[in-house]
């Protein structure tokens, strides 16, 4: 045969389409299988936030207590709980802070950083006012920017009132947050929930060792909770309702950063509680 004939398109040749098709289908099946198995055998990225924040206390100036003496209580025995009414302060947003370059929780078009302040310790408005709700019809970007900063300021200040101060929330201005952005937001979530994580004393000590409940939470772009449901019950109904209540009381959360927004809205995040 003339060599030109063998290259002619008019001559029919054995087709390899079947082979390629087969390989393609097999490849897809493998990919799907691997995905399914991966999802089956991993719990998703785990974030260990059990690390204790560093707490420092300033020791009062004065003579040290004689080691031979019996201890004294720092405070008298706690009186029965009294409700202190904190009047909701007028919603005047604080002025924006001058900005270091590091980004804490980025907003659309805005670089935000929770105020890194141990200084402010004013009585603060109740938490409901700190809800950052972006509103429609805001023409001015500057307005919005101010509002967001005001919200952050209030939030970080009001958190200072609480007993349990978590270091992660404001972090260090020189921290390497740029690489661990996701974890940082999860840390924020965790500390916000933990502040409301109240569990009844009645839960037997033996049970406290193994109680575990999972709450699946979906969060929208403003930090509002779309859905919070018990994904895995602990077996103790009181504990289950306590952790659900903790999530509800802790919401709304801070707005999630850009790259987590979709994940948090669609598949959400699972909070695994143990006492």
Partner 1 sequence: MNVKALLLSLLLPLAALAQAPVIQISGANFRPLPLAVSAPLVQGDEAKAPAGKLDETLMYDLRASGLFQMLDRASFLADAKEGVTAGSIKFARWADVGAEALVKYTVAQENGELRVEARVFNVGSGREEFKTTHGAPVAVPHKLAHQVADAIYRHFTREPSPFLSRITYVRKSGTNRDVWVADWDGRNAKQVTKGGINLLPALGPDGQVAYTSYRQGQPDLFLQQEEGETVRLKTAEGQMATGVAFSPDGKRVAYSLADGESAQVWVADTNGGNRKRLTDTRYGINSSPSWSPDGKRIAFVSNRGGSPQVYVMNTDGSGVKRLTFQGNYNQTPDWSPRGDLIAFTARDERNAFDLFAVNVETGKITRLTQDQGNNEEPAFSPNGRLILFTSTRNGTPQLFVMTAEGNNQMPLPGQEKGAYLTPDWGR
What is the smallest separation between the CB atom of 197 and partner 1, expressed in angstroms?
A: 5
Contact flag: residue 270 with partner 1 (CB under 8 A): yes
- Token pair for residue 178? 């740029």
Q: Is 42 an interacting residue with respect to partner 1 (CB under 8 A)?
A: yes
Given the rule CB under 8 A, which of 11-19, 103-111, 119-127, 264-272 is the region that contacts partner 1? 264-272
Site track 159-178 with partner 1 (rule: CB under 8 A), x = hit = -----x--------------
Is position 44 an interface residue for partner 1 (rule: CB under 8 A)? yes
Applying CB under 8 A, among 3, 18, 77, 87 the residue interacting with partner 1 is: 77
CA 55 to chain centre: 21
Q: Using the rule CB under 8 A, is 34 a contact of partner 1?
A: yes
Residue 149 binds to partner 1 (criterion: CB under 8 A): no
Pick left, alpha or beta for residue 263 (phi over 0 → left; psi -120 to 50 → alpha; otherwise beta): alpha
| Residue 99 interacting with partner 1 (CB under 8 A) | no
> Which 8-state DSSP code applies to residue 223?
S
The answer to whether the CB of 230 falls within 8 A of the CB of 107 is no
**Secondary structure letter of residue 218 according to DSSP:** E
**Alpha-carbon distance 112 to 152, whole Å?**
8
Binders of partner 1 among 224-243, rule CB under 8 A? 237-238, 240-242
Please state, in angstroms and as integers, the Cα–Cα distance from residue 90 to each residue in 94, 98, 124, 155, 234, following that order.
11, 23, 10, 15, 42
Tell me which H or E stretch contains 62: none
Crossing angle (nearest 10°) for helices 181-194 and 237-250: 120
Question: Residue 97 CB, nearest distance to partner 1 (Å)?
Answer: 28
Cα 123 to Cα 115: distance, rounded to the nearest angstrom:
16
Determine, following the binding rule CB under 8 A, whether residue 197 of this chain makes contact with partner 1: yes
**Do 211 and 249 form a contact (C-beta atoms < 8 A)?**
no
Is residue 120 within the footprint of partner 1 (CB under 8 A)?
no
- Which residue in the set 94, 110, 199, 225 belongs to the binding site for partner 1 (CB under 8 A)? 199
DSSP, residue by residue, 138-178:
---HHHHHHHHHHHHHHHHHHHHHSS---TTTT--TTS-TT
Q: Which stretch binds partner 1 (CB under 8 A): 2-10, 46-54, 92-100, 115-123?
A: 46-54
Among the candidate windows 39-47, 98-106, 123-131, 144-152, which touches partner 1 by CB under 8 A?
39-47
CA atoms within 13 A on the CB side of 186: 19
Q: Pick between residue 142 and residue 198 the one whose CB is nearest to partner 1.
A: 198
Q: Confirm or reject binding of residue 62 to partner 1 (CB under 8 A).
A: no
Give the one residue of 71, 98, 109, 137 binding partner 1; rule: CB under 8 A: 71
Judged by the rule CB under 8 A, the positions of this chain that interact with partner 1 are: 31, 34-35, 38-39, 42-50, 66-73, 76-78, 81, 164, 182, 186, 189-190, 193-194, 197-204, 206-207, 214, 216, 237-238, 240-242, 244-245, 263, 266-275
């Amino acid at each position: 045969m003339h060599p030109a004939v063998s290259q002619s398109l008019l001559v029919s040749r054995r087709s390899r389409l079947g082979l390629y098709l087969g390989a393609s289908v097999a490849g897809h099946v493998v990919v799907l299988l691997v995905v399914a198995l991966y999802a089956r055998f991993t719990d998703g990225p785990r974030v260990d936030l059990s690390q204790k924040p560093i707490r420092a206390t300033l020791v009062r100036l004065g003579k040290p207590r004689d080691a031979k003496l019996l201890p004294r209580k720092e405070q008298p025995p706690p009186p029965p709980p009294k409700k202190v009414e904190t009047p909701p302060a007028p919603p005047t947003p604080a002025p924006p802070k001058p900005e270091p370059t590091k980004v804490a929780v980025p907003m659309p078009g805005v670089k935000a950083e929770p105020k890194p302040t141990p200084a402010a310790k004013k009585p603060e408005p109740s938490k409901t006012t700190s809800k950052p709700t972006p509103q429609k019809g805001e023409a001015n970007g500057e307005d919005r920017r101010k509002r967001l900063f005001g919200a952050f300021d209030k939030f970080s200040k009001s958190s200072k009132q609480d007993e349990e101060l978590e270091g992660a929330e404001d972090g260090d201005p020189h921290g390497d947050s740029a690489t661990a952005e996701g974890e940082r937001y999860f840390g924020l979530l965790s500390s916000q929930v933990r502040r409301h994580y109240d569990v009844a004393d009645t839960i037997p000590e033996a049970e406290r060792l193994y109680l575990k409940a999972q709450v699946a939470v979906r969060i929208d772009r403003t930090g509002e909770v779309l859905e919070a449901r018990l994904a895995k019950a602990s077996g103790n109904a009181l504990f289950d309702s306590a952790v659900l209540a903790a999530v509800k009381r802790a919401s709304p959360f801070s707005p999630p950063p850009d790259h987590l927004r979709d994940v948090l809205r669609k598949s959400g995040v699972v909070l695994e509680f143990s006492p």
